[in-house]
Amino acid sequence: MYILENITMAEFKKYLKQTKTVIFPFGTIEEHGGHLPLNTDSLIIQETLKLAARKKRFFLAPISYYGVCTTTGDHPGTIGITPETLRRLSFDLVVDAYKKGLRNILLVSGHGGSLHMSALKETAEILITRLKGIKIAVFSPYDLLWKELSALAETPNDSHAGEIETSMMLYLAPELVKGRSSEEYPAVPKPFVVKNKVRYWPGGVWGNPKKASEEKGRKAVSLITDKIVEVIDKIEGVN
């Protein structure tokens, strides 16, 4: 398991002969209802990537804890950054990784917000034309596995801090789950952009956490781990 912050310069040079792949994880400090911690997005993606690292050889970089949070931006505890900041951060990370000899770059996000993901994808679109021989993948596992994860949930249209996220936290870090929030869904009036989104979504839950279970969490984590390994195989050209 090549955890980037834990290896030495000499080890980096040695491991670079074995893999040119690095994953940069992105999370958030963001409200997840009254029952899940603010680092839910970050913890889930970190732990699933560590599981993937047991199956596949790659460099796993430290997580970037701050992301673009729009709908949850007014809720207590959420601390976000702008899309411009995320574009600049991801740009610099990829460019410097490329300078160090890494060629397969994965930007993997535990947060699936649309502006957040757009910022990461915009960075990739610019760099794929500038850096010779680079391969870049940008994704949130929730986007790639929407159908499969939805099939695990009893709750239709389950999402933020709902049944599946709560289930994964019950599996990965049950000590951090503080009871269960009530079922809730955001009521922001589309297509309007509004201020004070807490007014339309007071509890910050999208789904029914009360239907969560550790077993559902285990299955969801397994799906995400396998998908990450699959994407690494594809970017490395493994058949």
Report domain extents, the chain.
Answer: 9-230
Q: Helix, strand, or coil here: 136? A: strand
Q: May I ask the CATH class of domain 9-230?
A: alpha beta
pTM above 0.85, yes or no: yes
**Beta-sheet strands, E only, within 81-140:** 104-109, 135-139
pLDDT in tens, 124-180: 999 999 999 999 999 999 999 999 999 999 999 999 999 999 999 999 999 999 999
- Residue type for position 19: T
pLDDT in tens, 87-129: 999 999 999 999 999 999 999 999 999 999 999 999 999 999 9
- Backbone φ/ψ region at 124: left (φ over 0), alpha (ψ -120 to 50), beta: alpha
Angle at 73 between CA 68 and CA 76, to 5 degrees: 130
